[in-house]
Structure 1
Amino acid sequence: MPQTRPPLGAVASYSFPKPQRVTVGGGTVVAIDVPGQRLVSLRLVHPHGGAVEPLDAMGVNVLTSEVLEDGPDGNSSLAPALERHGAEWMSRVNWDGFITGLDAPANRVNEAVRLFADAVRRPALNPDDVVRRREQLLERFWLEAATAGTLAMRSLGGQLFTGRYATPLGGGPVRLADITPETVASFHAESIASVAGTLVVVGDLDGIDLEELGKTVFGDAASVPERESSVPAPPPGELPRILIVDRPGSVQSALVIAHRAPSRSQVDLPRAEGISEVLGGMFTSRLNMELRERLGYTYGAGSRFDLRRDSGVFFMSTQVEADTTAHSVTSSLEQVAELRESGVTEEELTAVRESNTVGLPVSYSTARSLAGALVDMVVHDLPDDHVDRNRAGYERLTKESLDSAATEYLHPEEAVVVVVGDADRLRQPLTDTGIGPVEVRDPESLWS
């Protein structure tokens, strides 16, 4: 006999687990106990992301992160050593943090963490490994930049910022090529090995001594120094404006429309991200319905905020056929103008509320996702109840609060439009839009 689906119950309000904190030497352990979760996620956070790199060593964070995978014995020795304990290494860098870590079975954490600590504090940093990793990153840069969407995003920084943000996080091909093994060793000694950081631990903590883990990982490293931040200046030039990154013969265009935004601490996150979702963050968003469903120009269009400690970026992006590029740009800007003028609908308000509250138990159902949330809190100095405050902010959203977010956070009059495509084919149609001056650049010249 066919079975009927059981009726849906009432949506339960989600509360993020309260972390415990243990100060150990110069560092802090932040942990969440999840009984029964036998895969423990451990993350070490250093506040030395790409934003604070000196301009003569751009990309040293990313290169150092890669070289750490070679382990204390060099030559890619770390992964096999961790695998003997069922553990997996991870390392990533963003503008505001240098994050290393591992996932390991709870009953093998102590052994794996000893290897982890050696890898982070006492890596081999063999010059041959550094050069090999650097050459791999350089090759990867151009392989990834062969994708038009990636090239468009990497071209964006120089249109919005001067200083470090004008060059991609990985340093760009020219700057990265100049980094020597000695530069990596110096950066590691000053910013990683000698700085304790914050250790995030999530999983079944029964039988795990957090203080001992902290001692193993931190050793005698010093506490995190105060980080100075200042808002980076914009480059000169008229706004709005258009940059064409030339790809002769391309039958498609990748386009990004972006403007500067406040830093994360200055933004009301539910309102800002809520209005971005209405515009381009959901399948039913304005951009997707216009460019994909009504005009048939693209498989998908979206928007989001990239919020950092000292500044931010808002951008819309899509890829379209070359002949529809100019109309795609003007149509996207028209969607922003209409949203600012008329505001959101009740259906859009409900969709934003539900998409950011109903699914939270699933979003934070694993040790990795909980650890990711804690890392975010550490990097951005957020309170332990940040997730709950954010959820409550989405629950309080009204049409009026989202309407005001559209005028507060969306500024098409300050936008730069980056288009990767055939300049000969695109220059005149984009000029005819009247958006602003049009410049054409060769990809090879962007980061020289």
Structure 2
Amino acid sequence: MSILQTRPDLGSPQPYTFPKPRRLRVGNGNVVAIDVPGQQYAAVRLVQPAGGAAEPPDRMGVAALTGEVLEDGIHGNSSLAPALERHGAEWVSRVTWDSFVTGVDAPVNRISEATSLFAEAVRRPALLRDDVLRRRDQLVEQFWLEASMPSTLATRAVGGQLFSGRYATPLSGGPVRLNDVTPEMVADFHSRNIANVAGTLVVVGDLANVDLEKLGTTVFGDAESAPEASVTPPEPAPGEVPRVLLIDRPDSVQSALVLAHRAPSRSEVDLPKADGISDVLGGMFTSRLNLELRENLGYTYGAGSRFDLRRDSGVFLVSTQVERDATAHSITASIAETEKLQSGGVTAAELEAVRESNTVGMPVTYSTARSLASALVEMVVHDLPDDYVDRMRAGFERITADDLGQAARQYLRPEEFVVIVVGDAQHLQQPLRDTGIGPVTVREPDSLWG
């Protein structure tokens, strides 16, 4: 007797509708919540408009450092995590260019206790001098540890090649700038931007027995309304484009490559079209870059592309890692594939792949409290409507080949590429100059953020 059963036929994908959030005003803050019956592990997030983009030149990295120090809690010395663990809860902190996000993931039946601890850490942290200095040293050490990976180093060098001002230095402030941030600067940043700013509280989980107004009161207290975030497009970096920055990594047998150009801000982009054309170029396993560099040429294990969109600007990036001798041709091949996509448009198969990859998996994408909370945080940061996810789905469902062709011409700018290469300068300088892309500048990693 066989125990094997015939695999059932696949049915048609079911349409997905993002849950409608509930909104309420509590004190000077806003609560945005999604009730997910049966989801017993909740996600709580406080969103405040205090990202790295607004940091002054002498305090670069203060937001990221403050986000780290809050985990030391009201008693200092990493006291928050053990206190939360007693309730089965976990601290969450993420600082971006546009936002300062903190919160907890906790069992619904302990959400009040966990939120109370989280609120204390946000509003009344100890901010002990020794904690701040310890966390600062850890961030600097972590920066160089991560930058020892060529791909990370290349990506972090993008800002200085595309922007002047704050974006030219990494979000963490870079090792030199971050070392200038003092405990007094952290205390001042916290007082001005975190302790006394209510923000928006995101709550997702089984909320049948959760008092949202009480949670909001616990988190907001008597804090003031969040200030209106100013949006000022950053100035471009000096120098002609296209050009090549070669970051020397002596004796390296591989090169990390990033091709990047400036892009519009999040509000200026038709996201299904922009993400769709990025998927065709490098966002899927069957993308043009992956097929050319991996399958046809055998240069890499994979190549990718993506948009990084912010409130005031954006970046488009192509990235891969290749053997040293394939560096120059990988760059010219990537540019050629981008130009070919602009001139020739997309195929029917590519169009269908874009539609399916951005719609069929939605029920899984938004199956957890964390993922739903992340979507709500994005809505808050970018002032998106409650049906934003549904609009995105509809946009991908109705996207056409002509739409993607137009997006390739509108959003991809290979003639403005800045190419960052991390590799052996002695072997790569001449091949990179021979490509004719543009002037080649050689830098040492230590000199990038001095």
The corresponding residue for 2:85 is 83
Deviation at 1:15, TM superposition (A): 0.4
Structure 1 residue runs of 5 or longer lacking an equivalent are none
**Structure 1 residue 9 displacement after superposition:** 1.4
Alpha-carbon distance, 1:166 to partner: 0.2
Distance apart, 1:207 and its partner CA: 1.0
Q: Which residue pairs with 2:237 in the alignment?
A: 235
What's the offset of the Cα at 1:297? 0.6
Structure 1 residue 347: deviation in Å? 0.1
Residue type at the aligned position of 1:303: S
For residues 14 and 285 of structure 1, the distance between their equivalents in structure 2, rounded to whole angstroms, comes to 26
Q: Distance in 2 between matches of 1:230 and 1:113?
A: 34
Is 1:189 matched up with 2:229?
A: no
Q: Deviation at 1:248?
A: 1.1
- The alpha-carbon deviation at position 227 of structure 1 amounts to 1.1
Residue 212 (structure 1) aligned with residue 232 (structure 2): no
- Note the C-alpha offset of 1:381: 0.7
Aligned-partner Cα distance in 2 for 1:392–1:413: 32
1:272 is matched with: 274
Residue 368 in structure 1 maps to residue 370 in structure 2: yes
* Residue 6 of structure 1: how far off its partner (Å): 1.1
Identity of aligned residues (%): 71
| 2:57 maps to which of 44, 55, 58 | 55
Q: Does 1:440 align with 2:403?
A: no
**1:133 equivalent among 132, 135, 138:** 135
1:119 equivalenced with 2:121 (yes/no) = yes
Aligned counterparts of 1:335 and 1:158: Cα–Cα separation in 2: 26
Residue 263 of structure 1 is matched in structure 2 by 265
Residue matched to 1:21? 23
Q: Provide the residue aligned with 2:96 in structure 1.
A: 94
Q: Name the TM-score, length of structure 2 as normaliser.
A: 0.99
Name 1:383's counterpart in structure 2: 385
| TM-score normalised by L of structure 1 | 0.99
Q: Which residue of 2 aligns with 1:337?
A: 339
1:202 aligns with 2:204: yes
Secondary structure at the counterpart of residue 71 of structure 2: helix
- Give 1:200 shift: 0.1
Cα deviation for residue 236 of structure 1 reads: 1.4
Q: Distance in 2 between matches of 1:414 and 1:129?
A: 44
CA distance in 2, matches of 1:402, 1:184: 45
Alpha-carbon separation, structure 1, partners of 2:208 and 2:387: 23
Per-residue deviation, 1:10: 1.7
Q: Does 1:161 align with 2:195?
A: no
Residue equivalent to 2:251:
249
**Shift in Å, 1:288:** 0.4
Partner residue, 1:311: 313
Aligned match of 1:109? 111
Taking the aligned partners of 2:6 and 2:122, their CA distance within structure 1 comes to 54
> Which residue type is aligned with residue 335 of structure 2?
L
Using the alignment, how far apart are the partners of 1:208 and 1:348 within structure 2?
A: 45
Match of residue 173 from structure 1: 175
Residues 149-193 of structure 1 deviation map (CA, whole Å, 9 limit, x = unaligned): 000011110000000000000000111000000000000000000
Q: Could you tell me how far apart the structure 2 residues matched to 1:161 and 1:111 are?
A: 44
Dislocated runs of 4+, deviation >2 Å: none
Question: SS at the partner of 2:304?
Answer: strand
1:61 Cα shift? 0.7
The CA distance in 2 between the partners of 1:208 and 1:95, in whole Å, is 32
SS in structure 2 opposite 1:129? helix
- CA offsets per residue over residues 388-415 of structure 1, 9 Å max, x none? 0000000010010001000000000011
Q: State the superposition RMSD in angstroms.
A: 0.5
Partners of 2:228 and 2:21 in 1: CA distance: 23
Deviation at 1:206, TM superposition (A): 1.1
Paired residue total: 448
Once the 2 structures are TM-superposed, how far is the Cα of residue 7 of structure 1 from its aligned partner? 1.3
